[in-house]
């Protein structure tokens, strides 16, 4: 099977479309959450992920925009969350609210668990690349799966141990690893074998930044897209 793995789209439809154009064909899309928050097109991104019939978990921004608990976002992120609540239709909000916090998939015999943050705290814990190396075996034992897909850090990461694989595809809409290009992963399974390729796609940041200004989103959020931080 060929899987497109994406996360942290954050309302950046332009970046999402470039990823979909660049990634080639796939059997299933997997999304590790944060479809909304930060960017100019949250509703369009919800519709796009719905349209892909992606296997998708909720992120902290999705949960907060859909009206659940607060995750203590910083002032700029909180302002974007308030704006996104207004931009979404009732149906888009209801769809977001219905997303699960964890997913388990059986991909032709390869067991995969999907969380936004971590298996322990799906909406709160950040598993940065260094943490992923330390915690991989612990997490794989907890889930009992061969693969764990995470998002939330906006940093791509692939960690392999004898027990399995931890994969974070990085962020489509707001990368934070110093590379401003949209980040995604393609995972190919054949038998027990799992191959991963991290891909990066350039997109028109000027266009996205100008749309963010039009919608009154904080300048700091537009500006960081240029730096990938």
Interface residues toward Zn ion, by CB under 5 A: 8, 34
Which residue, 27 or 102, has its beta carbon nearer to Zn ion? 102
CA angle at 8 for the pair 93 and 228, rounded to the nearest 5°: 135
Residue 4 near residue 18 (C-beta atoms within 8 A): no
CA distance 79 to 105: 35
Whole-number Å distance between alpha carbons of 80 and 87: 10
Q: Is-contact 130 159, C-beta < 8 A?
A: no
The number of C-alpha atoms within 13 Å of 127 and in the hemisphere containing its C-beta is 29
Are 39 and 208 within 8 A, CB to CB? yes
Nearer to Zn ion, 34 or 44 (CB): 34
Q: How far apart are CB 188 and Zn ion at their closest, in Å? A: 25
Shortest distance (Å) from residue 49 CB to Zn ion: 14
Residue 61 vs 200, nearer CB to Zn ion:
61
Nearer to Zn ion, 122 or 164 (CB): 122
Return the number of the residue (34 or 177) whose C-beta is nearest Zn ion.
Answer: 34
Minimum distance between the CB of residue 8 and Zn ion, rounded to whole angstroms? 4
C-alpha distances (whole Å) from 15 to each of 55, 184, 188 are 19, 10, 23
Q: At its nearest, how many Å lie between Zn ion and the CB of residue 156?
A: 13
Instruction: Report, in Å, the least distance between residue 144 CB and Zn ion.
Output: 26
Closer residue to Zn ion (CB): 168 or 189: 168
CB 159 within 8 A of CB 136: yes
DSSP 162: T
Residue 10 Cβ vs Zn ion, minimum distance, rounded to whole Å: 6
Residue nearest to Zn ion (CB): 34
């Amino acid at each position: 099977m060929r899987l497109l793995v994406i996360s942290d789209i954050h309302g950046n439809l332009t970046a999402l479309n470039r990823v979909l154009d660049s990634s080639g064909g796939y059997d299933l899309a997997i999304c590790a959450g944060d479809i909304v928050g930060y960017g100019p097109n949250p509703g369009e991104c919800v519709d796009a992920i719905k349209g892909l019939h992606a296997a998708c978990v909720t992120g902290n921004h999705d949960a907060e925009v859909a009206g659940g608990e607060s995750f203590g976002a910083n002032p700029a992120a909180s302002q974007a969350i308030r704006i996104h609540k207004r931009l979404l239709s009732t149906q888009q909000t209801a769809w977001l609210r219905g997303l699960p916090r964890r997913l388990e998939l059986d991909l032709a015999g390869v067991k995969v668990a999907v969380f936004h943050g971590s298996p322990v705290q799906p909406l709160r814990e950040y598993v940065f690349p260094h943490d992923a190396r330390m915690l991989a075996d612990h997490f794989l034992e907890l889930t009992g799966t061969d693969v764990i897909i995470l998002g939330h850090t906006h940093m791509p990461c692939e960690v392999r141990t004898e027990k399995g694989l931890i994969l974070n595809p990085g962020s489509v809409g707001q990368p934070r690893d110093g590379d401003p290009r949209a980040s995604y992963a393609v995972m190919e399974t054949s038998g027990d074998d799992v191959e991963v390729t991290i891909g990066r796609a350039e997109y028109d940041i000027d266009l996205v930044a100008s749309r963010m200004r039009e919608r009154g989103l904080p300048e700091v959020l537009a500006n960081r897209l240029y730096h990938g931080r």
